A and B are shown apart, each in its own frame.
Chain A
């Protein structure tokens, strides 16, 4: 399975009528998780989060592609 680059945030618990709602929910939680942390603690939080999500994805081909995409700079 290739890396999904299409919008994919969704909520199986509740129907969302606006296409941005689920993604905006996630983004708010993400920023909120960093509230009150200094840079070092924020970096650690990001590292833990990446490891948790990477394990959940598991598929090395997907993870390889995600790492490659993230390294692309303009």
Chain B
């Protein structure tokens, strides 16, 4: 929760306004029914609207404001989010404008004690992280939402919600008056304070941390590298922590831990902020303050993310401390998980209970994110003398010993959740090496002609068939690919061959030119993976068997039997 103050620089005033239009329902005799309504045009709500639209669903998006976020807020977008944004058609502008980085440095007092590299291995399309101010992400998403035909309604504030058995009724306030709208399905992505969650009287449970942080966006020409720098107890801010991140346009994010006793109204005064920044940067450096905020945070979630026809996503459903960048990044993963399930249920291709697995999988993910961000917070802000003694001992040992470096916890940066225990998974019947277990998000790998495996997956079910040579796949198996393509839930086959060869009927051939995919998936000739529309692994086998694939497809879509 934050109290913010905007500076006078051009960045802070980067606030495009979007036109309010009189909704067609105003003055109508009866409320119109819409298949999907999304509330909240933040990064997560916009992603939900775009994803549903790409899957052919008409989408109305309601937002009470008519512009993008104030200040940079959500800042670090993890590799998995960039892959999801790629699938939604927003990845390129985000990566072009954002500051890509992989290296993080941790300092204790005035010395570096630990350095990490997020992408320790090459051969991924996207970097470990891209830093970009939230207002830019939202602007790109809004452009994309308009292109794909989302019915974007600015200055439309939901003032009442009435969940019914087979739809949800909303009362919406606009500058021209009120109207009612009905939604078959409602996605709520209206942020941590979630007005809709309050209207429904639903609780969000967890821990509030007794600490305050000063967050400042500073414009300056600095030659620091594009890395994450974190200080424990630095000479320029004794007893507390400081975090520095580079953003686009020479904007730098500085995060000062202040302690619980700090007065937020006093601390965000410019005359208080400038000396803190000068102490950090040295007096000679010129900078301009773009945005300042003092915030506290919670680590908490709703008991359930699905309430009948109402589905909560992003900060409305779960909140974490900022250390680890697990907020917006987990919101994108919520959307990724939800949209394909909603599409199948709306189309009548999957039972309603498939949407319960949105709750199952994303609640497990929220718990993982809360666990990790709580641990980071406890390390950064020790709650007792002994906790501080151990923390400082870890930092001292980390200067010399590798084992202690791994215990240094200034944030366990966002990585996608592996849905290890999901009811949608089919358990392995054979032995595989590597990390591509059922429930894992598909690893990227380079293909020939500057293409990437991750871009070939997603949006529908895929069967990934490994082969040394595309010609080695037998006729009956090739015929079975056609069966899969014609199922009620179609499966597109991708043959991943070590070398280019003849075309394969009923399949697309991809060339694993460097053998990286074969290594990451432990894919020998004949190995088969079933990949979900959100690019997570559903099942895998050492040889093609149509009945097994159909059973796994049924399981992955909430059916009792094969599809």
Which of B231-239, B328-336, B381-389, B520-528 faces chain A?
Answer: B381-389
Instruction: Tell me the complex Cα distance, A42–B384, Å.
Output: 11
In the bound complex, do residue B418 and residue A27 qualify as a contact, i.e. CB atoms below 8 Å apart?
no
Does B499 have its Cβ within 8 Å of any Cβ on chain A? no
Does A30 have its Cβ within 8 Å of any Cβ on chain B? yes
Which chain B residues lie closer than 8 Å to A39 at the CB level? 385-386
Which chain A residues lie closer than 8 Å to B440 at the CB level? 17
Which chain A residues lie closer than 8 Å to B379 at the CB level? 27
Instruction: Tell me the complex Cα distance, A4–B406, Å.
Output: 14
Does B399 have its Cβ within 8 Å of any Cβ on chain A? yes
Given contacts A7-B403, A24-B375, A28-B375, contact A42 B412 (CB under 8 A): no
In the bound complex, do residue B406 and residue A23 qualify as a contact, i.e. CB atoms below 8 Å apart?
yes
Does A6 have its Cβ within 8 Å of any Cβ on chain B? yes
In the bound complex, do residue B409 and residue A24 qualify as a contact, i.e. CB atoms below 8 Å apart?
yes
In the bound complex, do residue A7 and residue B435 qualify as a contact, i.e. CB atoms below 8 Å apart?
no
Instruction: Tell me the complex Cα distance, A10–B412, Å.
Output: 17
Does B396 have its Cβ within 8 Å of any Cβ on chain A? yes
- Minimum CB–CB distance for A24 against chain B, Å: 5
In the bound complex, do residue A4 and residue B403 qualify as a contact, i.e. CB atoms below 8 Å apart?
yes
| Smallest Cβ-Cβ distance to A36: which chain B residue | B384
In the bound complex, do residue B406 and residue A20 qualify as a contact, i.e. CB atoms below 8 Å apart?
yes
Interface mask (B386-410 → A, CB under 8 Å = 1, otherwise 0) = 1100100010100111110011010
Which chain A residues lie closer than 8 Å to B406 at the CB level? 7, 9, 19-20, 23
- Minimum CB–CB distance for B155 against chain A, Å: 43
Count residues of B near A (Cβ-Cβ below 8 Å).
Answer: 26
Which chain B residues lie closer than 8 Å to A46 at the CB level? 386
In the bound complex, do residue A27 and residue B386 qualify as a contact, i.e. CB atoms below 8 Å apart?
no
Q: Is the interface of A mostly helix, strand, loop or mixed?
A: loop
In the bound complex, do residue B403 and residue A30 qualify as a contact, i.e. CB atoms below 8 Å apart?
no
Which chain B residues lie closer than 8 Å to A17 at the CB level? 418, 435, 440
In the bound complex, do residue B386 and residue A37 qualify as a contact, i.e. CB atoms below 8 Å apart?
yes
Which chain B residues lie closer than 8 Å to A19 at the CB level? 406
Does A34 have its Cβ within 8 Å of any Cβ on chain B? yes
Interface mask (A2-26 → B, CB under 8 Å = 1, otherwise 0) = 0011111100000001111001100
In the bound complex, do residue A20 and residue B409 qualify as a contact, i.e. CB atoms below 8 Å apart?
yes
Which chain B residues lie closer than 8 Å to A9 at the CB level? 406
In the bound complex, do residue A27 and residue B409 qualify as a contact, i.e. CB atoms below 8 Å apart?
yes
In the bound complex, do residue A23 and residue B407 qualify as a contact, i.e. CB atoms below 8 Å apart?
yes
Which chain B residues lie closer than 8 Å to A27 at the CB level? 375, 379, 390, 394, 407, 409
Does A74 have its Cβ within 8 Å of any Cβ on chain B? yes
Does B378 have its Cβ within 8 Å of any Cβ on chain A? yes
In the bound complex, do residue B387 and residue A31 qualify as a contact, i.e. CB atoms below 8 Å apart?
yes
| Smallest Cβ-Cβ distance to B412: which chain A residue | A20
- Minimum CB–CB distance for A35 against chain B, Å: 7
In the bound complex, do residue B403 and residue A8 qualify as a contact, i.e. CB atoms below 8 Å apart?
yes
Interface mask (A58-74 → B, CB under 8 Å = 1, otherwise 0) = 00000000000100111
Does B415 have its Cβ within 8 Å of any Cβ on chain A? yes
Instruction: Tell me the complex Cα distance, A19–B440, Å.
Output: 16
Seen from chain A, the residues whose Cβ lies within 8 Å of a Cβ on chain B are 4-9, 17-20, 23-24, 27-28, 30-31, 34-35, 37, 39, 42, 46, 69, 72-74
User: What are 20 sample pairs from A and B whose C-beta atoms fall under 8 A apart?
Assistant: A4-B403, A6-B403, A17-B440, A20-B406, A20-B407, A24-B409, A24-B412, A27-B379, A27-B390, A27-B407, A27-B409, A28-B378, A31-B378, A31-B383, A31-B384, A31-B386, A31-B387, A34-B384, A34-B386, A35-B384
